[in-house]
A and B are shown apart, each in its own frame.
Chain A
Amino acid sequence: MNKIFYPKLALTNLKKNADTYVPYILTCIGSIIAFYTMISFYGNKGLDEMPGSINLKTILFLGTIVIGIFSTIFLFYTNSFLIKRRKKELGLYSILGMEKKHIARVLFYETVVVTIVSLTLGLLGGILIGKLLYLLLLKLLHFTTPIQFYIDGRGLLITAGIFLAIFFLTLLTNFLQVKMANPINLLKGGEQGEKEPKSSWIVTLFGIISLGIGYGIALTVKSPIEAILLFFVAVIFVIIGTYALFTSGSIALLKVLKKNKSFYYQSRNFISVSGMIYRMKQNAVGLANICILSTMVLVTISTTVSLYVGQENMMRDQYHFDMLFVGENTGNDEALVDESIQKTAEQTGVNPIDQINLRLGNLTAFLEGDHFMPDLVAKEDKDTNYYTTKTDVWLIPLEDYNKMSDTATALNENEVMIFSVGDNYNQKTMTFGDRSFSVKENLQTFPLNNKKTELVGKTCYIIVKDEGVIADIQNNLYPDNTSKSLLFGKFFNLEGNDETKLAFSENVFQQVEGINPDIDKASYYVSLTEWYSIFGGFLFLGVFLGTLFMMATVLIIYFKQISEGYEDRDRFEIMQKVGMDKAEVKKTIGKQILMVFFLPLAGATIHVAFAFRVMAKMLAAFRLTDTGLILICTIVVTLIYALIYALVYWWTAKAYYKLVK
């Protein structure tokens, strides 16, 4: 009988605590599903065949790690909540004569049940939902080739292993809790005297400053590179500020209200203010967690959705032409490339149109005033600073320029025209070594590129009289450099359907690779496919993690409501005895709960509003510069999130009122 007794007791306990254990088990199942899905995608060989699969796999791998860490923290959090709730019950067992080892045995069987249920359902769910999500991922990646989805045995094993370890660790912490406590403590565990929360002005001030710095960084970021570098700094400041203000600032504020006697001693404020002080003390950290998780959800989903929606436009900005080739103007490379384009065009039925062929010279330099200084940085010293300050100079003979832009401009030996990407070139003259030119015209449009600011460094196109001047400039700037050849450039668009355009591009790429691997080549369609895999991967991960964080938020809110409910029940009764009517009590408490739970959402919305500029700048790093689009995506995502949040609140508030009634 002893053998069955403990498992039976464990089962009964779980059933009796279904209110809290069902959400806990659901959390476990959710985490397992999430983890397995990620790891099985990571291990999926089918995805390797996709262009850009390395990027995608990196994203998935990071996703797996994030989910792993997150699950661990979150399961520990919920478990500690559960065990705290149950201290009284365990204390009772102890008083009824169960030894600690017996209680430990019950806890062990409970964990075994939870583990078996979670792992079975989680892994099964992972396999099913994984398959569904896999199809979704392929759709997002614009990857149509049907790839066999398979059950990832290694993934199952890893998932099972990791979660077994997590469950084992939670069991150990529970053992420790029971071991350290004596029965009286266990009995009173749920109702230890609450100290008047201390608010420290220093912490509050620190929080305000921290938040101010975070927001300040977010608002003053100038370049995309800066945005990426400083974003995490800002995030850390904002997180510190959020925690400090939620824990200390809120209480400090309430205490100020309390000091104002004519405000505080109003029946409407009296109970709310003092009630809020206590709620904030108990919930501040949880609420700050919710606030930060919510901000993360909003930022991740908004940016990934923006990227995904905006990617075709941003690719267009980057690729002015569908295809381009730039190579050394020696031998017969150019003729061979032409031949291969011609041949492939005939085979695939894709027509190259708007073709521009030209000669051009290329050099990198540093622009100081009107002086182009030679780039003498050694290869190993080329750091971020180098790439952001250098200028890419393309030198084009007047004849070719006139041909491609259909103009008849004339230049003399010492005159140039310039098209500068981004900001205009503001000098009247320019100098390369000993050679000076006067700037005849600052072009505002140019057939080969658009005016939008470059992400990294600067690019300018300088039109000179002829090829002789190009050689002269190169010689003046780099007298010792031997390879100062002229280049050929080919720019053209494609006509045909999208799939054959991609096939054409890949086909020509392969042939050009065979002609001379040094020839630079680019294709809008090849890149688009690669970027789809990256942004599709980002979007997938963003939404996936977003959902996971949201699930966590929902559960934190739920557990909070439950624990509030238990504590408020007594308070509720006392207030009625002292002469407050039911409706009034319900209204006051309802108002408090509303305030407490919508505070994080308000905080998250403010964070996102301040983060918007950084988000836009960071997205500019991916060449997404359409601020309007980003704004719309962010607002839509925020609204949807707020709606879900409100639904969750409504659902948990019902559970709460059930408890206090």
Chain B
Amino acid sequence: MADRVIVNTSINGEEATLLCEPRQTLLEVLREGLRLTGTKEGCSNGNCGACNVLLDGVLVNSCLVLAVEAEGRSVTTIEGIALPEGLHPLQQKFLEHAALQCGICTPGFIISAKALLEENPSPTEEEVRFWLAGNLCRCTGYDKIVRAVLDTAEAAPSVGSFGGETP
């Protein structure tokens, strides 16, 4: 067993000190170490997007990031998306549009959509589809997911500034 490494990072706005093996992915440490199991593992090689998180506001597959890379950086997971006063508009729109069936891919989609709307507050359907092409959903055929994201953007064009832990 390799020597463990102390990693000082910020998770959903709270300082966190992690004891990690160098081989461990950020996904593994989030799920197994911190029990933040809202971030899902669907493929462990960057093809499904279920493990997406924001690292200093940038969308990443947490299965392709080593935990030690979080040193001095800020991580936002699905558990850090809701606002003090209630669900984030994206979360609310996903529910209103029935944009989830089984729900396993939903945290990854919401994280990806948040990153999209921060970069492009009023995307076209094509831009939403292109941005979300890194997230696999097997239940919905994407129709209601794309509508939920477009509707969020339309309802609140500046949704990017809605809370969450965006640095």
Are A and B co-members of a single complex? no
Chain A contacts to B: CB under 8 angstroms: none
